[in-house]
Amino acid sequence: MIRILLLLGFVFYSLPSLATIVTAKAKYMHSGEISTNTGCEIAKDRAKLKALEKEIGQTISSEELEKCSEIDGKYNCERNRFFLSSFNGDITGLKELDRKKTTETLDDGEIVYYCEIEIKANVIPSKQITDPNFDFNVKLNKSNYNEGDNLTMEIGFTKPMYLTIFQVLPYEKKNNQVLKLFPNEREKDNFIKSEKIILPNNAKYEIYFPEKVNKERVDEYLFFITSDKNISWLPEYGTIEELKAAFHKSKKMMKHKFKQYTITK
């Protein structure tokens, strides 16, 4: 997690799209270490992701997925992948068309389990600013942090725009999973007129390992949202799903990006 420490033209939009009915099928193979119900949950998330990718495209890189699997385990990584991709579009009216559970005995006697699920759903792309001249990029000072490290970020902009940054904590179960990092009490102005800024400015972002997490490493994400009009986001959201719901319900046009980083105890 990140502590904030105090220191002394025209824009074109994509029109709201009608839902597209998409069918998708996905399979998940697993050992007996997880239940068949959990295996089918992963298969369904994979099918949802395929439905999104059919209509919208994939944005999570294979390098991020490989790193995520090593730290969070395959199941949590699969769910994180779906949650992050689902900001590109909303899935409604989901119907499970078929579910098949099978087993196979390997040559060494190990039994593996398969769950294959086919779904049909409405996929509604997110309202996005499509002007190629309205864009931004983000570079973190590191991708791996230790307790006590400082996080800085360099953000470049093609034109003036509003910026909001959230921390996303997918491992958090009891407290809020989404916390607003910027703007904050010390950095209140989020209308960025410069071509490039470096954050923090007049503050300090210090990394610390989350309490009550029985792991040596955790993954966290920064979610960057830009818009040409200011948006009144809440300072925190209980779950990633709550942030996603607010994102899809907003009538403002936005662009967004994720950055993943790892904290080692």
CA distance 210 to 214: 10
pLDDT of amino acid 34: 84
- Residues whose CB falls within 8 Å of the CB of residue 187, separated by 6 or more in sequence, listed in order: 199, 200, 201, 202, 203
Number of domains composing the chain? 2
Q: Are residues 192 and 111 in the same domain?
A: no
pLDDT of amino acid 10: 46
Containing domain of residue 54, as a range? 20-125
Q: Are residues 53 and 86 in the same domain?
A: yes
pTM greater than 0.85 (yes/no): no
Burial of 186 (0-12, 13-18, 19+ CB in 10 A): middle
Give whole-number Cα distances, 43 to 35, 84, 91, 244, in Å. 13, 17, 16, 21
CA distance 22 to 77: 24
Q: What is the pLDDT along the chain (265 residues), one digit of tens a residue?
A: 777 665 544 444 444 456 789 999 999 988 888 889 988 988 998 898 888 888 876 554 555 555 555 555 666 666 666 677 777 788 888 999 999 999 999 888 889 999 999 999 998 887 777 788 899 999 999 989 999 999 999 999 999 999 999 999 988 888 899 999 999 999 999 999 999 999 999 889 999 999 888 888 888 999 999 999 999 999 999 998 899 888 888 878 889 988 989 999 8
Q: Are residues 171 and 117 in the same domain?
A: no
Residue pair 210/169 in contact (Cβ under 8 Å)? The answer is yes
Q: Which of 125, 159, 176 is the last residue of a domain?
A: 125
Q: Are residues 78 and 9 in the same domain?
A: no
